[in-house]
Copies of this chain bind each other. A is one copy, B any other.
Amino acid sequence: MLTTEHLKQFAEDGYFVYPGCLSERAVRNLRAETDICAADREDPGLVREKDGDTVRGMHGIHLRNEMMSKLCRHPTLLALAKGVLGEDVYVHQFKLNIKAAFVGDVWEWHQDMTFYHREDEVPHPHFLTIAVLLDDVTEFNGPLLLIPGSHKEGFKDSNKHTIEAYDAESSWLSNTTAKLRYTVEHDTLRRLVHTHGLAAPKGKAGDIIVFHANVFHGSGVNMSPFDRRVAFISYNSVKNPPQPTRAQRPEFLCARNCAALQPCHDEVLM
């Protein structure tokens, strides 16, 4: 389970990899469920790639899908989230990113805190995201890119863009497509990378990557014939809920229920 080595790496690098978190059977079940979810054309939290067809990501499925809800409460995931944050947690946002073979597009460099703070008014970066790999991730299918240690420099200013095409369609879509609403100056990124370097952790299906709310990350295109399906589960401390001063984003992006989660030992994920 969680070791002092993990905590040290989280403090130092802003992330750690935890191999073999999910069993082969759990991965198989989650992949099958992902396909079912992706086929739901009525899903309000579904975003497509620029081709207008390929599914890019699905938001908030844990609110409607039992297996995804259980994944959030997987004993190991929940123990890691609570252990690292030192608090009870709830899931602020859940997304399944597909990064489809040949088509999966980039995620620009960002800090999760930018979105959860500026859009949802989460006060502190006292949360983390667990990336659950549902496929083997290699250098070829768009691995997560991170600037290790960038979380130590805090929350950076970012530029808010109005992206007409996306905004015309939906006000939240521009936070979930290949063109992000918030971007950070290249000079800031350049300085961070020169100080801290770059990392692109790979892994097997069933491995997880735990990363800090302030760590800069992104990912490139997927030019391979292999999907790179990853569930990103953002756990927030129950002591750090949104303090909204205006209308909130839809529930599939910003949780309404901020009660402490309890582990679920269902054998479908064991």
- Contact partner of A193 among B193, B198, B225, CB < 8 A? B225
A139 CB–B CB distance under 8 Å: yes
A218 CB–B CB distance under 8 Å: yes
How many angstroms between the C-alpha atoms of A190 and B139 in the bound complex? Answer: 17
Chain B residue with Cβ nearest A145: B223
Q: How many copies does the complex hold?
A: 2
How many angstroms between the C-alpha atoms of A239 and B206 in the bound complex? Answer: 54
Chain B residue with Cβ nearest A219: B223
- Contact partner of A145 among B140, B142, B190, CB < 8 A? B140
Contact with B along A198-234 (1 / 0, CB 8 A): 1010000000000000000010110111000000000
Min distance, Cβ A105 to any Cβ of chain B, angstroms: 9
How many angstroms between the C-alpha atoms of A6 and B193 in the bound complex? Answer: 36
How many A residues have CB within 8 A of the partner chain?
22
Chain B residue with Cβ nearest A143: B139
A189 CB–B CB distance under 8 Å: yes
Measured between beta carbons, the chain B residues less than 8 angstroms from A224 are: 193, 198
Residues of A near any B CB (own CB < 8 A)? 101-102, 106, 108-109, 139-140, 142, 145, 186, 189-190, 193-194, 198, 200, 218, 220-221, 223-225
A-B contact pairs, 25 of them (CB 8 A): A101-B186, A101-B190, A102-B186, A106-B221, A106-B223, A108-B223, A109-B223, A139-B139, A140-B145, A140-B198, A140-B200, A142-B220, A145-B223, A186-B225, A189-B225, A190-B225, A193-B224, A193-B225, A194-B225, A198-B224, A218-B223, A220-B220, A220-B221, A220-B223, A221-B221
